[in-house]
Amino acid sequence: MSDFRIASMPWISIREDAGEVAQAGYPNADKSRNVTLALFGSIPLKTVRTVSIPSRSVQVCGTPFGIKMFSDGALVVAFSDQYTVFGAENPAKEAGLRLGDLIVSAGGQAIRSNEELTKAITTAAGKPLELIYRRDGQQYSTTLTPVADAVTGEYRAGIWVRDSSAGIGTMTFLDPQNGTFAGLGHAISDTDTGADITLLSGEIVPVMITGYVSGTAGSPGELRGEFSAEVTGTVRVNDTAGVYGIYTGAPMGQSCEVAQPQQIALGEAEIWSTISGNTPKRYSVRIERVNMTGSDPNRNLLIKVTDPELLASTGGIVQGMSGSPILQNGKLVGAVTHVLVNDPTRGYGIFAEAMLRAAA
């Protein structure tokens, strides 16, 4: 324990060591001990319990991948008034639906696709139809009465819905210990409503980056690429810490130790990202802020791109680079999550340690 230090307080050191303790039967469990902190090595301040966490290594990637996801229901993304013999009507609005609501049941039948919702509306033939939907993590029910179009006679509800999504992201790492992958560092959300997609099923495929749109202040750029037909994994989780699942593709990446948040320092670092083809390159960045409060896991780190090559090509961070690994002193410290809209040279990152826990 002689290397124990308090961040930014090198004048505080360990004076005593009360011995190491580990949970019986778990040789790889976290170990702890009581230590006394002393000022200048002689004035005791406080006795605390320190925890020694075993280090973990993962295969750091930085490669692009395509994500195809199907939502667990039909997401309301737009409203459209219907013209009937009585004039303009909108049954969905009258039923109290809002943008971002996820319809999971109609007429007692589970809804998994746009087609299933359309069938339920057509079958109702103008009769009241009970809908069950989710909003802000809560489940509600309402009654919707479809109306007949004045021209075609078809029954409609006045809504546009979406049941799937696809896009490009960056693979952060593979965890050989659990056979899992981790990417993006944030949830996949609907482009129209901003609502996180409630996952029913999903898969990942390799991507070949064919070009990019550079980012400018007020206009985020993006990577463009072609999806492969080869499925290399199954998406199991889509949440605020990223996209995770089972990896079935060929081994890739470079083994690196995952740093604890306390080991991250302000200053020079690098990101691994792919802006052409499918091979990542290393680009220099500077870590400008480390947020240890955990109030927003997608903004644990603030980084600034300093690499001349990356700045000259993409202008900094662009869409599709989410998940790009951030490394410092040979350790994986985090992953890129967002770009600052008004300054594409800067972006936010999530702690790698948080992603490792989510990938387990």
Cα–Cα distance for residue pair 87/90, rounded to 1 Å: 10
DSSP 134-154: EETTEEEEEEE--EE-TTT--
Residue recorded with tokens 């109702």: 124
The CA angle 143-148-151, to the nearest 5 degrees, is: 160
Q: And the tokens for 269?
A: 């670092």
Residue 189 is among the residues annotated as catalytic for this protein = no
Cα–Cα distance for residue pair 238/302, rounded to 1 Å: 23
Q: And the tokens for 148?
A: 């007949």
Burial class (CB in 10 A: 0-12, 13-18, 19+), 323: buried
Residue 273 is among the residues annotated as catalytic for this protein = no
DSSP 296-318: -GGGSEEEEE--HHHHHHTSS--
The H or E element spanning position 91 is helix 91-94
Residue 186 is among the residues annotated as catalytic for this protein = yes
Q: Among residues 186, 273, 324, 338, which one is catalytic?
A: 186
Helix, strand, coil shares, percent, the chain, to 5: 10, 55, 35
Alpha helices in 113-185 (DSSP H): 114-124
40: left (phi over 0), alpha (psi -120 to 50) or beta: left
Nearest of 350, 322, 335 to residue 167 by alpha carbon = 322
Q: Among residues 71, 101, 307, 338, which one is catalytic?
A: 307
Q: 199-213 and 64-79 as β-strands: parallel, antiparallel, unpaired?
A: antiparallel
Residues designated as active site: 186, 307, 322
